[in-house]
Structure 1
Amino acid sequence: MTGLEGVSAQEFSDLICVIYDCALDPQRWAATCRKVADLCESTAGGICVHDLRHAQNDQLFVFGYQPEFLEKLRNHYAESPMAAADIVSNIGDVSALSMERYQLLESRFYLEVLKPFGLVDMIWFPALRTGARMASMHASRSEKAPHYQERDVSLFKLLSPHVCRALAISYVFDIRALRSEMLEKTLDGLVAGVFLTARDGHVVYMNHAAERQIKTGHSIRLVNNRVSPTDSAARAALSKAIEEAARDDADMGVSEHSVAIPDGVGGGYVATLLPVKSGQRRGILAPFAAAVAVFVQDPVQASLMPGEAFARLHGLTGGELRVLLALSQGLDGMEAADMLGISESTIRTHLQHIFSKTGTSRQADLLHLLHNSMPPIHALSTVAH
């Protein structure tokens, strides 16, 4: 028994199974949102992603709404009760606009956004949060149905932990799917530790070297799934650097952040941070993907990063080296521009400067020269774990 009027144990169990199916196939969320809405007698619903910092709202897998309403909701989201509630709510907390604390019928949001489109109530819960972004599941009722009652709130409370877990699982799989086999092998071949973090500093990927650095625990550790230097000053500096590098307006052309991470006995690491642009990736989890790459290396023992010696030899700038390394992965100008977050004309300008500094005139000759200067880093990194 579910304890919910009109919902059988088998019906509820089947819905839970469908929710977890969405973890491996996110496109199933569209049909699943409809099933959830049907159980609570709703006329519309879906999943949306909120940007709490900029008070923006993007609707995904939605049904039952007029396009004009979705546009108006997007423009007036900052004025909605949901925007304020999501800032203070915990993941999985269920709310309905008809709850007394929201004073729905007296609100401008109801009069100007909901009522003109025949909507009388909305029920929702935040399901996934990283940094300033949050994904929520919601459903709505039209004037043909009464406001949500305790039975509907209870149903959402039973469903919310399963939806939250499914989205969290899907998030992990989405991050793993971002890593092409070539990229993963390249990162695992580095002597330097590589940490990819989300906007809020949560680590979404570590290469083998990073895992070894964490295991030693002398300079850095993982605390709440964040890179945490043992030195308090370094910990504060790294947190601030990640926050700055993750900003939407972070400039890929400026000098990268560097942070010293001492071990307390005269040694330690140097961390170098670079913004990671997501390019044209789309989907429910795109806002939660890696935002910052943190390269951690021992300045005494570690070998040079790929291309670093080449850049020093020929006097390349940081921007020129990043363009060269992008092209060395087999990307064309447009793909390199998309990955680095710069224009194709900037790519061409950097390339002309590189040609001049290296004495080459063709990209093939340039890449051949770079390849010949690369150390056998994979062999170096396979020393006993």
Structure 2
Amino acid sequence: MMDLDGVSAQALSDTIGAIYDCALDPQRWPDTCRKVADLCESTGGGICVHDVRHVQNDQLFVFGYQSEFLEKLGSQYAKSPMAAADIVANLGDVNVLSTNHNELVESRFYREVLEPFGLMDMMWFPALRTGARMASMHASRKDKAPRYQQLEIGLFKLLSPHVCRALTISDALDIRTLRSEMLEKTVDALTAGVFLTDRVGRIVYMNLTAERQVKAGASLRILNSRLDPVDPAASAALSIAIERAAADDDDGGSGQHSLAIPNGNGAGYVATLLPVQRGHRRDIVAPFAASVAVFVQDPIDAPLMPGEAFARLHKLTGGELRVLLALAQGLGAREAGDMLGIGEPTVRTHLQHMFAKTQTLRQADLLRLLHTSTPAVRDPRPPV
């Protein structure tokens, strides 16, 4: 096999395959998180689930950390550089703590949370958003290990769309139904449309929800035994995505993992694709002899996380959003700075920038705008 700067193509392909197996069997995540960390030469890693409404930070499938560190991180997460970065970043966008190394080592978060436990660097990406709940995958280095370099960051970026795809599918499905012996009956009970296709996109099975989506006719139809979106651009994109999803199992490709299927009236569906020819996935769908599973859903109806829509609308930076959310708790500039580990002048600088971006003049006006702003419509396009 070819080596990619010391990383074999086989190791990369095996890791991507393991990620996809987790889509239908989440109990495989612990081993897969270790595979991802090993590939990126990390000493720790795992998946975090953040409940923004209840300010909880649950660590799932983590390894390489002391329990005291996980408790500390959970209590300080809202004040960390990761919290605001996760809110404003697109799904799959990789962030690295040491990108701004000087600013990091001067921060209270580094002094109080990372340094006492020997952690030198972390990289992570948001992988799933559902209302006020968000999941992210992270990897870390400790003690005297050097900071992450372009090779490790590049590998993490290469894996991120596959992790996003796997978590999206797991979140859409009641995984327990897929472990039932009565597979066809239980797949029919799913609220997501499930289309199973061969390598060239011919449908070999669709569940009852999928049939209803086709009968509605506004977004999807069947043409020559193939799933065919009404929108021409979406039709072409889906054909390419199915081909690439099938190729994922062959050569570890990184085809588009989700795409919009509009209906021409500002609505429609989001399709997420999963290759099912290898490993545990093949065993689950064996009765259907399928190569690709296409999961089709209405865009999630739950509201965006607090602050997310506002930050995107006004192009706030992560630092500005952290200050805004602190002030929204009723803190003054000095108290917000103390909580975030920055000086009061920095808080006021962020405020001035936010006044300019939101065309407000006072803190009270800014907070009033935050509390009254709601998106008029949901964007049907999935993050890319």
- The structure with the largest alpha-carbon Rg is 1
Higher relative contact order (CA 8 A, sep 6+): 2
